[in-house]
């Protein structure tokens, strides 16, 4: 993760991710791109992103993906005791991470999938 600069966790094959980068371009926000499928976040990076999002790992998990089904994630607990299991699964399988995630220069973060979320970016 970069410090003091906006960063987008981007999958160029995802239309929501492409829309978010286009929005950042249109609004003139300087940002860096992390292709998180090629450069997966560590468990510690995920913990920091979750802190910035004020979210839990299950909130940013793509549970409809086949790997989530194979792992049986639908049956996993969603308590503080289960948190690390989810984080480790996301770190090992970055395709399960909801996209795009934008880490803002001011220390915030947003899952930029909707128009409302994009508007918070500028």
Neighbours of 115 (CB within 10 A): 9
- Residue of 29, 34, 24 lying closest to 2 (CA atoms): 34
pTM: 0.91
Tell me the two tokens of residue 3. Answer: 């410090």
Q: CATH homologous superfamily for 6-120?
A: Glutaredoxin (3.40.30.10)
Cβ(8)–Cβ(113) under 8 Å? Answer: no
Q: Which residues, 6+ apart, have CB-to-CB distance to 120 below 8 Å? A: 110
Per-position pLDDT tens, the chain of length 122: 555 689 999 999 999 999 999 999 999 999 999 999 999 999 999 999 999 999 999 999 999 999 999 999 999 999 999 999 999 999 999 999 999 999 999 999 999 998 888 888 76
Residue 80 burial (C-beta neighbours within 10 Å; 0-12, 13-18, 19+) = exposed
**Which ranges constitute the DSSP H helices of the chain?**
15-27, 43-53, 66-71, 83-92, 115-119
- Positions annotated as catalytic residues are 14
**Whose structure tokens read 């508007």?**
119
Copy the structure tokens of residue 41.
């976040």
């Amino acid at each position: 993760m970069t410090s003091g600069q906006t960063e987008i966790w981007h999958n160029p094959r995802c239309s929501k991710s492409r829309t978010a980068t286009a929005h950042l371009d249109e609004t003139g926000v300087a940002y860096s791109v992390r292709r998180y499928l090629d450069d997966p976040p560590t468990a510690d990076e995920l913990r920091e992103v979750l802190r910035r999002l004020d979210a839990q790992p299950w909130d940013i998990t793509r549970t409809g993906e086949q790997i989530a089904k194979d792992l049986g994630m639908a049956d996993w607990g969603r308590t503080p005791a289960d948190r690390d299991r989810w984080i480790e699964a996301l770190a090992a399988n970055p395709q399960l991470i909801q996209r795009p995630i934008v880490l803002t220069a001011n220390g915030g973060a947003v899952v930029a999938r909707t128009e409302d979320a994009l508007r918070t970016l500028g």
